[in-house]
Amino acid sequence: MNDVAAQAIELRLLTHRPAEMTEWWAALLGGAPQSMNARMTAIHGDYLRVVIERSPIALDYHPEASGVTAISLALSDLQSARPALNRLSKLGSQPHRATGQPGVTALWFRDPNGTDVAVHLPVAIAHNATATGVWPDEVDPKDVFAYISSQPSATIHQPPESE
């Protein structure tokens, strides 16, 4: 059960891929995994604690089967995004899409369970309202990385594209 007095929100994720899930979430949050017991490992970020729980009966399933179809994380600034994006890149995890809203751009990743994880950045990148005032949803992830890399001390390391 969650501790309501805790400084961070806790998200518990059941998986049959505990090692992969722990490595991926540790890369995103930047925290060191801490074993809680034989079945559970916790990773602490600034405002989120993720508990990865190994299940002997969990199967490879569609994310909708678990009831969790997407997880959204809002980062406070680009400085906090750079290290997380670099750590995910080292694991070979790249965003499969990017979306925009006024003042916010989200990079969409998939964790090893296949759940969409949106990392919201506090900037509007490569999208503007149309003449009718509609904001286009889709943005090219490459444009987002290019923008972040153009900022002072903002090198995002990306693996070479596969052919």
DSSP structural state of residue 102: T
The reply to whether 91 and 51 lie within a common domain is no
Element (H, E) at 11: strand 9-15
pLDDT tens readout for residues 107-128 = 999 999 888 999 999 887 755 5
The reply to whether 47 and 94 lie within a common domain is no
Residue spans of alpha helices (H) in the chain: 18-29, 63-66, 78-90, 141-150
pLDDT tens readout for residues 53-105 = 998 777 666 666 666 788 999 888 888 888 999 999 999 999 999 998 878 89
The reply to whether 33 and 75 lie within a common domain is no
The domain total for the chain is: 2
The reply to whether 127 and 151 lie within a common domain is yes
The reply to whether 72 and 119 lie within a common domain is yes
Helices (H) and strands (E) in the chain, counts: 4, 9
The reply to whether 123 and 96 lie within a common domain is yes
The reply to whether 109 and 146 lie within a common domain is yes
The reply to whether 75 and 155 lie within a common domain is yes
pTM for the structure as a whole: 0.80
The reply to whether 73 and 152 lie within a common domain is yes
- Domain with residue 143: its CATH number is 3.10.180
Q: Is 153 a residue whose pLDDT tops 80?
A: no
The answer to whether the CB of 16 falls within 8 A of the CB of 58 is yes
- 141-150 vs 78-90: helix crossing angle, rounded to 10: 120
The reply to whether 56 and 75 lie within a common domain is no
Token output for 74: 């809002």
The reply to whether 91 and 117 lie within a common domain is yes
**What range does the domain containing 117 cover?**
68-163
